[in-house]
């Protein structure tokens, strides 16, 4: 099980940081190891027949090589050979101690808010409570594991399935991840339970503050855009609670577990087609993910609002060494409306 967990962690690491250059490094290492396996390094003995082009060891060089070969190499954990305490130390000016300083972290400032024209919702974690849907769906399967352990196992399995099958429908990924979790928990699930569990995850419920806040922002004149992961069919399903009253400018598809920096160029192009004079700092992205959304949005010059709900897991992930802060951090969409100076609308 430890080996399986390490394998998952390695694959997740290479996926998460592939856009930072890890994939290139791993590919280079694979190439070097492949070349090393085919290097032909002949071992030449001092005696025996040899052609005129074969190198020979002789004289002092051979004696030195034999002495080195006869030296005992201590096993791991063995005491180091005793040093001659009478050895005279000769001072060298180059031996002066020099302080070793840690590299300063890359400190990056959040993008300041402009005259906001578009508000882009990363649906899961801000408008739709997908975490609760997954926890409720997994409750019949938890067996000997806690609800949090089952939830984390599902998220990890779904992320790895997405890495292996980036074009697979979301329903297929959810089903495969549920089967992984059931197998890990040693819980038998029949087809009826599996289908019911899938539907719970595919159609998460709205947060209580979602509709009042989204209605208020819409009535105030903001153009709304939704970002959601999955195929077109699944995106239509998660939009269904929202599309009845609101005119959605555009629905943008993004990855559910990793950044997609190139998507923000497409987002800006869409906004510029609607408002030609638009600037990046007039497009605010609302998300619960600092790493997956805030960082690439900031790189594109777009301000961001990080929604850190108490029950949401992803919003608590923070790479402090070089993370990019959001323009504003709020505890819900009601607080976001307050920050924007928009009164809430009930209903």
The confidence score (pLDDT) of residue 43 equals 46
Position 16 pLDDT exceeds 70: no
How large a percentage of the chain has pLDDT more than 90? 17
Q: How confident is the model at residue 41 (pLDDT cuts 50, 70, 90)?
A: very low
Q: What is the mean pLDDT of residues 113-141?
A: 88
d(CA 84, CA 100): 30
The confidence score (pLDDT) of residue 238 equals 58
The confidence score (pLDDT) of residue 260 equals 76
- pTM, to two decimals: 0.65
Contact 336, 213 (CB under 8 A): yes
d(CA 34, CA 12): 23
Position 44 pLDDT exceeds 50: no
Does 103 or 337 have the greater pLDDT score?
337
Domains of the chain: 118-129+205-340 (3.40.50.1000), 130-202 (1.10.150)
Spell out the SS3 assignment of the chain.
Answer: CHHHHHHHHHHHHHHHCHHHCHHHHHHHHHHHHHHHHCCCCCCCCCCCCCCCCCCCCCHHHHHHHHHHHHCCCCCCCCCCCCCCCCCCCCCCHHHCCCCCCCCCCCCCCCCCCCCCCEEEEECECCCECHHHHHHHHHHHHCCCCCHHHHHHHHHHHHHHHHHHCCCCCHHHHHHHHHHHHHHHHCCCCCHHHHHHHHHHHHCCCECCCHHHHHHHHHHHCCEEEEEECCCHHHHHHHHCCCCCCCCCCEEEECCCCCCCCCHHHHHHHHHHHHCCCCCHHHEEEEECCHHHHHHHHHHCCCCEEEECCCCCCHHHCCCCCCCCCCCEEECCHHHHHHHHCCCCCCC
Helices 191-202, 170-185: axis angle to 10 degrees equals 120
Q: What is the mean pLDDT of residues 192-220?
A: 88
Mean pLDDT of the residues in the chain: 75
The confidence score (pLDDT) of residue 273 equals 92
The confidence score (pLDDT) of residue 285 equals 93
Does 232 or 133 have the greater pLDDT score?
133
Q: What is the mean pLDDT of residues 231-249?
A: 57
The confidence score (pLDDT) of residue 249 equals 57
Q: What is the mean pLDDT of residues 209-225?
A: 90
Q: What is the mean pLDDT of residues 223-243?
A: 67
The confidence score (pLDDT) of residue 321 equals 54
Q: What is the mean pLDDT of residues 275-282?
A: 94
Q: How confident is the model at residue 125 (pLDDT cuts 50, 70, 90)?
A: confident
Q: How confident is the model at residue 93 (pLDDT cuts 50, 70, 90)?
A: low
Q: What is the mean pLDDT of residues 187-205?
A: 85
Q: What is the mean pLDDT of residues 13-35?
A: 64
């Amino acid at each position: 099980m430890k080996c399986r967990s390490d394998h998952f962690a390695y694959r997740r690491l290479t996926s998460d940081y592939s856009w930072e250059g890890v994939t290139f490094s791993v590919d280079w290492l694979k190439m070097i190891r492949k070349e090393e396996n085919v290097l032909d390094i002949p071992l030449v003995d001092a005696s025996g027949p040899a052609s005129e082009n074969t190198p020979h060891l002789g004289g002092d060089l051979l004696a030195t090589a034999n002495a080195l070969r006869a030296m005992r190499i201590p096993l791991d954990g063995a005491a180091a050979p005793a040093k001659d305490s009478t050895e005279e130390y000769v001072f060298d000016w180059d031996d002066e101690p020099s302080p070793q300083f840690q590299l300063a972290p890359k400190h990056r400032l959040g993008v300041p808010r402009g005259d906001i024209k578009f508000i882009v919702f990363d649906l899961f974690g801000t408008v739709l409570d997908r975490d609760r849907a997954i926890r409720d769906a997994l409750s019949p399967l938890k067996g000997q594991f806690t609800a949090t352990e089952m939830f984390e196992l599902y998220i990890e399995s779904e992320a790895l399935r997405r890495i292996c099958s980036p074009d697979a429908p979301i329903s297929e990924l959810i089903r495969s991840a549920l089967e992984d979790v059931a197998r890990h928990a040693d819980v038998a699930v029949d087809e009826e339970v599996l289908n019911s569990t899938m539907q719970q995850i595919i159609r998460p419920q709205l947060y209580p503050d979602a509709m009042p806040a989204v209605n208020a922002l819409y009535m105030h004149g903001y153009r709304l855009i939704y970002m959601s992961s999955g195929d077109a069919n699944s995106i239509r399903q998660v939009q269904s609670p929202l599309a009845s009253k609101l005119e959605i400018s555009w629905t943008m598809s993004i990855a559910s577990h990793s950044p997609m920096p190139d998507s923000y160029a497409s987002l800006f192009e869409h906004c510029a087609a609607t408002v030609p004079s638009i600037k990046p700092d007039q497009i605010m992205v609302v998300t619960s993910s600092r790493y997956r959304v805030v960082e690439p949005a900031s790189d594109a010059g777009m301000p961001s609002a990080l929604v850190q709900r108490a029950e949401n897991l992803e919003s608590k992930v923070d790479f402090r060494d070089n993370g990019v802060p959001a323009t504003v951090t709020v505890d819900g969409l009601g607080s976001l409306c307050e920050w924007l100076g928009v009164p809430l609308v009930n209903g």
